[in-house]
Structure 1
Amino acid sequence: MIKEVLEDYCNYRKKKKRSATKCVASLLPPCIIMYRDGVSESQFERVLKWELPKIKEACAEFQTGYQPKIIFAVVGKRHHTRLFPENPKEADKNGNCLVGTVIDRKITHPTLNDFYLQSHYANQGTARPSHYTILYDDIKLTTDEFQCLSNSLCHNFQRTTSSVSIPAPTYYAHLTCTRAKMYLINSNGTINLPKVHPNLKKYPMYFM
């Protein structure tokens, strides 16, 4: 999958620059930021041991000598932490913290680089913040820069005009997995992958 994404990215850059003679090395991204969902704290070591090396290996196989800087972060909502403002005047109409609230001290992990971000507005009830844990970082973004980036990505989801609870790329990955499951597995359990219309290849983000 990493190779396919890098190939699509290079093809997009070629079309944008309108130059087919550009070498692949100059088109590749210098940095890759990975938001990983569905990982519990007990699986952090396993993810770093197996998934991160495979990403680096795929990059090296795609282009000899290609070693992008990587941030590997886990984002999840499967926790019981809730945030409430001390001053009621600083809360929204449901009593939740305002959108964009970040907590990165006191209640966070004593050794891991993690924080809580409430990036969405809850229409009803208590909002559940997302929990971010940076497992690997050789881009060396500051904590504030990564928090701002994560919050900004929560405002880029194309299905809604408001912000969402997790970064848009992670949300798109959820939709892709759900749709792939519908395509691949029939009611009798057999695998069947239908052909995609050629026109859809021009627009890779065709989510409904």
Structure 2
Amino acid sequence: MAYQHLGEVNIPKFTVIVGQKNHHTKLFQAGSPDNVPPGTVVDTKIVHPRNYDFYMCAQAGMIGTSRPAHYHVLIDEIGFSPDDLQNLIHSLSYVYQRSTTAISIVAPICYAHLAAYQMGQFTKFEDLAETSSGSVTSVGNTPVPELPRLHEDVRSSMFFC
């Protein structure tokens, strides 16, 4: 483990959860035309019999059948109870800075998508000309442009455009 390799004594505990948005499961209320209420969690019957997973519909559905996010808990060294973990996941759907209501998947996943998109903009290899005025290094046969330096004001904080 990296912490042991660095000689650290206090090794932190991790909880690793994968959120899946694209799937074919939809939730509805039997005998009612209304969508399921926001915060609905399904962790029995339709989930894996041995693995720790659950469906959560954190946001209010528009018209039609609600489509939840599917969360798979891969590692839980912290030891969350199912209710505490589901409450944490539900709370994380309300902290996205671009929305005043709950979103369908937790905010850290949305921020990761934004960061990946921004990195994709910096590393467009097709547009890289050999006469580029920027500094270019090479990994194998692939040229890699040097990333721009961050301003001091944002260097130690999270920021997303």
**Greater RCO structure (CA 8 Å; 6+ sep):** 2
C-alpha change, 1:201 and 1:142, in structure 2 (3 Å) is same
- What one-letter code is carried by the residue in structure 1 that aligns with 2:28? F
C-alpha change, 1:125 and 1:186, in structure 2 (3 Å) is farther
Q: Partners in 2 of 1:194 and 1:186 — Cα distance? A: 15
TM-score, structure 1 normalization:
0.63
Q: Secondary structure at the match of 1:185?
A: coil
C-alpha change, 1:127 and 1:191, in structure 2 (3 Å) is farther
Q: Partners in 2 of 1:116 and 1:75 — Cα distance? A: 10
Counterpart in the other structure of 2:155:
201
Q: Partners in 2 of 1:181 and 1:83 — Cα distance? A: 34
Counterpart in the other structure of 2:100:
161
The superposition leaves residues 163-194 of structure 1 with CA deviations (integer Å, 9 ceiling, x where unpaired) of 11111112111111111111122542553322
- The equivalent position to 1:98 in structure 2, one of 32, 37, 43, is 37
Q: Secondary structure at the match of 2:155?
A: helix
Are residues 1:143 and 2:82 paired? yes
Q: Which contiguous aligned blocks of 4+ residues in structure 1 show a shift greater than 4 angstroms?
A: none
Which ranges in structure 2 are unaligned for 5 or more consecutive residues? 129-142
Q: More helix by proportion, 1 or 2?
A: 1
Alignment of 1:40-189 (within 5 A): 57-62=1-6, 64-88=8-32, 95-188=34-127
CA shift for structure 1 position 124: 4.9
Count of paired positions: 146
Larger radius of gyration: 2
Give me the CA root mean square deviation.
Answer: 2.0
CA shift for structure 1 position 196: 2.2
- Contact 1:115–1:132 (Cα < 8 Å) also in 2: yes
Q: Percent identity?
A: 36
CA shift for structure 1 position 138: 2.1
C-alpha change, 1:178 and 1:111, in structure 2 (3 Å) is same
